[in-house]
Amino acid sequence: MIKILTIVGARPQFIKAAPVSRAIIEHNKTATEDHQLQEIILHSGQHFDKNMSEVFFNELNIPAPQYNLGIQGGSHGSMTGRMLEKIEAVLLKETPDLVIVYGDTNTTLAGALAASKMNIKIAHIEAGLRSWNRQMPEEINRILTDHLSYILFCPTFQAVENLKKEGIQKNVIHSGDVMFDAALLAADLADKHNSILKTTGLQPREYFLATLHRAENTDNETRLRSILSALNKLSLQKPVVLPVHPRTIKKIKAFGLESLTANLKMMAPVSFLEMVALEKSAAIILTDSGGVQKEAYFHGIPCITLRDETEWIETVETGWNTLAGCDVNQILEASKKRSQGTPIHEYGTGTASRKIIKILNAKLFLSEP
């Protein structure tokens, strides 16, 4: 029996962990007793509202976390430090053989730091991504986590290359993207769950879907004002649906930008299945989210990224995604482009999670270095 401690805390991590947990359960169905994998889930508490956390566990049948540390808010250092201390206590108690961390949040870094200081092996899922912008807290989190990890599962070939440039080549695996697995898992369910279009009075292809939460956009009044102005202008063409992240709503109020949102169809964050339903029927998706950029591609919807760079460069190169930053004219210009791009094969075929579990199982049981 191998003991795995999965560390999650933020919305996208619940979604990424869902297919991987499912793959562990599938593995255990056929594995002999001594090859069973025991997964323990630790939730840092970083995201805590019901519709930012619990809803994903329920909807995606993710096993309930055995630990919820209840740590949220404060500065980056404070949040990461408090998590580090409490995660270490859990590691001391559980002594897992492996820790799995996802993506690039403060929870990811705290988990990786805690495990590495106890010489516990770390698997980083969604390794190797780079924006080359060290102003982003996520860039610091992902660089450090990659350098601490024992095994690195990359969603793209570019991610493998990025790690190579930083001298990381051992145990680097191109696994494909677990978010594609999650999208497939949700697609059928979301079809049965598309009442959100009816309840919001939306017609397929007759609305724009937007999400906005990156600190670089929300915490900068000029950028936030500019993006909201662009969405406001777009709402003259078609309704703009904006499920609002808690960070963003706080900043809209703090900067007094409510008048720019008066014409938008704002709503509280929606569940994953509702989000997929909204994505699949949108005319265009406008976002600064990493996950949503790819989901736009998975569902064949043109995307405008409200950032100056992206870690998911293949979405731009294949013509699915346009980088428009926060400039009103660039966003409006990009919104005229409705053509589809070419296929992206490197995200895999929806089996990244199974591949990851298969490789981890082999490595851990053979005690490969």
* CA count, 13 A, side-chain hemisphere, 49: 12
- Residue 49 makes contact with ligand UD1 by CB under 6 A: yes
Asked whether 123 and 151 are in contact (CB, 8 A), the reply is yes
Site residues for ligand UD1, 95-154, by CB under 6 A, read 104-106, 137-138
110 or 277: CB nearest ligand UD1:
110
CA distance 48 to 54: 8
213 or 265: CB nearest ligand UDP:
213
CA distance 369 to 321: 39
Question: Phi and psi at residue 129, in whole multiples of 5°?
Answer: -75, 145
Q: Which residue type is seen at 77? A: G
Query: Closest approach of Cβ 38 to ligand UDP, in Å?
Result: 27
CA distance 161 to 220: 32
* CA count, 13 A, side-chain hemisphere, 82: 13
Site residues for ligand UDP, 142-161, by CB under 6 A, read none
- Residue listed under structure tokens 């991590």: 13
Site pattern 246..285 for ligand UDP (x: CB under 6 A): -----------------------xx-x--x----------
- Residue 15 makes contact with ligand UDP by CB under 6 A: yes
Q: Is 278 helix (H, G, I), strand (E, B) or coil?
A: helix
- Residue 289 makes contact with ligand UDP by CB under 6 A: yes
**Which residue of the set 213, 245, 299, 345 is catalytic?**
213
* CA count, 13 A, side-chain hemisphere, 177: 25
150 or 298: CB nearest ligand UDP:
298
Q: Is 213 a catalytic residue?
A: yes
Site residues for ligand UD1, 246-305, by CB under 6 A, read 246-247
CA distances from 20 to 49, 100, 177 (A): 23, 10, 11
255 binds, among ligand UD1, ligand UDP, none (CB under 5 to 8 A by kind): none
Q: Which spans of this chain sit near ligand UDP (rule: CB under 6 A)?
A: 11-12, 15, 211, 213, 243, 269-270, 272, 275, 289-292, 295
> Which residues does the annotation mark as catalytic?
213
Q: Which spans of this chain sit near ligand UD1 (rule: CB under 6 A)?
A: 10-12, 46-49, 52, 72-73, 104-106, 137-138, 213, 246-247
